[in-house]
Amino acid sequence: MMNFLNNMNLLPKNFIVANIVEVLKEDPDNGVEKLYEMSGTFITDSQIKAIIGQIKGYYDSHPSIKRYVKNMIYNTNKTCLNHFLQNIAVKELWEGLSIREQMSQKYSVNVPHSLVINIGMNCSLACKGCLCKSDPSLAMPLAEIDRLVAEARELGIHIIVLTGGDPLMNDSLFKVYEKYDDMEFIVLTNGVLLNDQRCLALSKLGNVLPLVTLEGGGDEIKQYIEPSTYQEILASLDRMKAHGILFGVMTPTKQSNLKFVTSDDFILPLIRKGSRMNWYVTTSHGAPSEQLGANELSELEARISFIRQTRPYVTIVLESGNPFICRCVVGPLLFHYDFNGQHHVLFFPQLSVKNSQNQPLIQVLRKIQS
């Protein structure tokens, strides 16, 4: 055992992560403490030890973080947990950062952390007030999706956000998920197609993280969908939890729903149903009633910060580069954050049939950024 620990730095990163998952799943209540004790044995670099100590101190001093980690370990199956850590911690961060920097310099373009791929407007719902209709000319062919994902991986990108419409209407995408198992696919969906068959397939794949669109409770969204459809959406959350799938919720955030969707009445039922994160998406486009003013944006940031600190839930705010389409978020995404007193923006460009068909990804990125 000692030789194994002493030589752990020579082992492949995916092997290390797989063993971390084994330790966590074997003892969810004490797995983090066991890993911390093990790290003191095989990590000799003083700076890395100090960083790990700071992380452990933060973990110990924030009960909501402890609850979050334990909930995730208990309720996420081994395959999904392993892929998530492999694809995010290893591929996206550990390896991906340096690859993206190298590729950015090589091609004189800013290689993003993530891409949004709009595969077309096919949707299984007909929400009241939605003006979008299925248009076959806007549907991205499977071969084109495969090509863009492959080129993204070569650039060091390992997070792909799929939007539409509803990507779950295209079952052929499961071939792409399986082929690129070192990529994390975040799928924006209305949830109604998450039956047991699809949930079983997703649980076996492990690298697909569904985000179900929910912008309120039954009373809040009955202007768009029938009560029976809302119950179908809630049932899909229960099925994903039963299958151990890592999933979350995506909330188009407007003036009308800001207070409710940041309240415990909205958050706590989702946590109990197994949701692990909430993307609050705003827009500065479209109808004025859909846009948040400066005071409302400050209120949103304060509320989700409070949720992160006091509830076992990950919450982030993103901005859509396009107006909302009824209940759907489409378009590029922006993540605003402050660091060392400066404001920064991460831009996640959107690819579609219109801007990327039969064009090399690096060329598309140049056009978007020009």
Residues 27 and 140 in one domain: no
Asked whether residue 294 falls in the same domain as residue 346, the answer is: yes
Do 79 and 115 reside in the same domain of the chain?
no
Question: Residue 11: its pLDDT value, please?
Answer: 52
Residues 228 and 340 in one domain: yes
Within a domain: 91: no
Q: Is residue 157 part of a domain?
A: yes
Counted domains in the chain: 2
Rg (CA), the chain: 21
| One domain, residues 30 and 131 | no
Answer with the one of 85, 118, 142 that is the final residue of a domain: 85
Residues 81, 100, single domain; the answer is no
* Last residue in a domain, options 85, 115, 140: 85
Please tell me whether residues 194 and 166 are part of one structural domain: yes
pLDDT score, position 6 = 40
Whether 90 is in a domain gets the answer: no
- Asked whether the beta carbons of 275 and 214 are under 8 A apart, the reply is no
Q: Do 106 and 252 belong to one domain?
A: yes
The residue segments making up the domain with residue 348 are 96-369
Q: Is residue 169 part of a domain?
A: yes
70 and 200: one domain? no
- Point out the domain boundary residue: 34, 65, 85: 85
Is residue 33 included in any domain, yes or no?
yes
Say which CATH number the domain at 151 has: 3.80.30.10
Question: Does residue 105 lie within any of the structural domains?
Answer: yes
Stated pTM of the model: 0.92
CA end-to-end distance (rounded Å), the chain: 54
270 in a structural domain? yes
Domain for residue 13, yes or no? yes
Instruction: Compute the CA torsion angle 309, 190, 80, 24 (nearest 10 deg).
Output: 30
Q: Which residues of the chain have pLDDT under 70?
A: 1-12, 131
Within 8 A by CB and 6+ apart from 153, the residues are: 180, 182, 183
- Say yes or no: 26 and 107 in one domain: no
Same domain? For 207 and 298 the reply is: yes
- Judge if 9 and 126 occupy the same domain: no
